[in-house]
Amino acid sequence: MATEIERKFLVKDDTWRGLGEGDHYRQGYLSTEPERTVRVRAAAGKGYLTIKGKTVKATRAEYEYVIPLQDADAMLDELCERPLIEKTRYRIDHQGLVWEVDEFEGENAGLVIAEVELASAEQVVALPAWVGEEVTADPRYYNSNLIANPFSRWAG
């Protein structure tokens, strides 16, 4: 079984800008059930289909497959729940780990999240200076939940 071990953090300032290259992502969900999500993504000229299990702490089952970009675009346009998630993802190397900083657009504009994938849940992580509060356990920040409850609708 494929496993994803990931921690998520809010980004507290703009000092990360210019540290990595960005790619535009367009993604949507065929299923947003907490026990399983099925995501379609188009990014960097490729299509992906990803199935994820329920998150327990920072770990969950994950299966990802490359699919034809035309198929991904058709599913995003015709089958996925709305709104779609649009963001630019930047990859930034920091002390031996690759951080992915997602700057959201559309109904989630203003939200910037940094994620780091780990080899184990116990792995010690040196946080970059631009990383703020950890939100790994807060389901509001799951991309699949940003469809039903976009960041622009959060109070205060």
Q: Rounded to the nearest 5 degrees, what angle is found at the Cα of 114, between the Cα atoms of 48 and 153? A: 85
Encoded tokens for 12:
């507290």
Encoded tokens for 15:
């000092």
Neighbours of 33 (CB within 10 A): 10
Measured CA to CA in angstroms, residue 115 lies from 54, 128, 151 at distances of 18, 11, 17
Which sequence positions are flagged as catalytic?
29
Neighbours of 68 (CB within 10 A): 10
